[in-house]
Amino acid sequence: MRTPFRRAVCGAIAVALLGGLGLTSCADPGRNGTVDTGSAPVDTSVTATPGPTDSSGLSASPSASLSPSASRSPSPSASRSAKLSLSRSPSHVPTSRAATPAAASNIASRLRTIPASTGQIIVVHSSGYGTSFASLETFEKVNGVWRAKFGVMSARIGTKGFSDSHVEGVPTTPTGVYSIGSTMYGALASPGVRYSYHRLVVNDWWDENPSSPTYNSFVHGTDPGGNSEALWQIVPQYNYFAVINYNIPVRAATPARGSGIFLHVNGSGGTAGCVSLTQSNLLQVLKWLNPAASPRIVMAPSENLGRY
């Protein structure tokens, strides 16, 4: 039977031996820091709140999800798994599920009429036909999977909302799927877009006269008549804009099917049929768009996106 004195001496010797071997039940903050540093970089261009329908492509290491308090006081099993991961070579560090493309569940992944060659999609949707308030979302194809690019942006559309049968002179935004025009325009110098860019000058018009042979196209010269727009005079809306290829090439119809549908800078309210964003958001989108990716823009009330 040991005396209290002998038990104390034995205990002191055991503590000294354990300390010399470097054994401890506490996580090593320095090692945890090393694991965090080895995690994949965050894609900061994706500003939407991550969720089931938003895959931002993060590839964090297991310890990256630990809170500060958890890193200070892990359970014994957590300490063991941390030490095991540190002892492995980089080629054996486990990857998270987010690093492997999976079938995303978002608006773009549910579209059925987008050409296979398309690698970028803009979706403009609203709560119904009668509102000029809408949301704009952007998606890009990564390894065959549609991923959200930017966060949801507030947009304005025609003052009378969406229409499945837009016609000239009525302030509705046409529903459907459209490509982006080969040239972007603006009253200001090019912001660095990947498309051809034309800085507007005096006598630059968009022909919105159905009787004109150049109806629904950019022209330079005399006023084509009708409701044609003097592009160089319309600011800030036309500081920058992209052409949405609605009714391009023109299809003969009576009444005319409409013209001049652009993606441009916000004005003071709804539009005459275009889609508008704040200038900062618009520039994000215009500089992102790449003609090599054959972008498409989809426009419809949310309830009808299933058509496309």
- Chain centroid, CA 136 distance in Å: 9
Contact 144/117 with Cβ under 8 angstroms? no
pTM for this prediction: 0.68
Model confidence pLDDT, tens digit, residues 180-239: 999 999 999 999 999 999 999 999 999 999 999 999 999 999 999 999 999 999 999 999
Q: How far apart are CA 183 and CA 119, in angstroms?
A: 19
| Angle in degrees, CA 299, 304, 308, rounded to 5 | 65
Closest CA to 273 of 124, 141, 110: 124
The pLDDT profile of the chain, 308 residues, written as one tens digit per residue, is 444 444 444 444 443 333 443 333 333 333 333 222 233 333 333 333 333 322 333 333 333 333 333 333 444 343 333 333 333 333 433 433 444 344 458 999 999 999 999 999 999 999 999 999 999 999 999 999 999 999 999 999 999 999 999 999 999 999 999 999 999 999 999 999 999 999 999 999 999 999 999 999 999 999 999 999 999 999 999 999 999 999 999 999 999 999 999 999 999 999 999 999 999 999 999 999 999 999 999 999 999 999 99
Q: What is the pLDDT of residue 35?
A: 29
And the tokens for 30?
């320095």
Closest CA to 168 of 92, 246, 239: 246
* Phi, psi (deg, nearest 5) at residue 83: -65, -35
Question: In sequence order, what are the beta bridge partners of 140?
Answer: 120, 147
Write down the residue that tokens 């084509």 correspond to.
224
Burial of 14 (0-12, 13-18, 19+ CB in 10 A): exposed
Contact 139/120 with Cβ under 8 angstroms? yes
Contact 240/186 with Cβ under 8 angstroms? yes
Closest CA to 198 of 207, 189, 208: 189
The amino acid at 148: A
Q: What is the pLDDT of residue 105?
A: 83
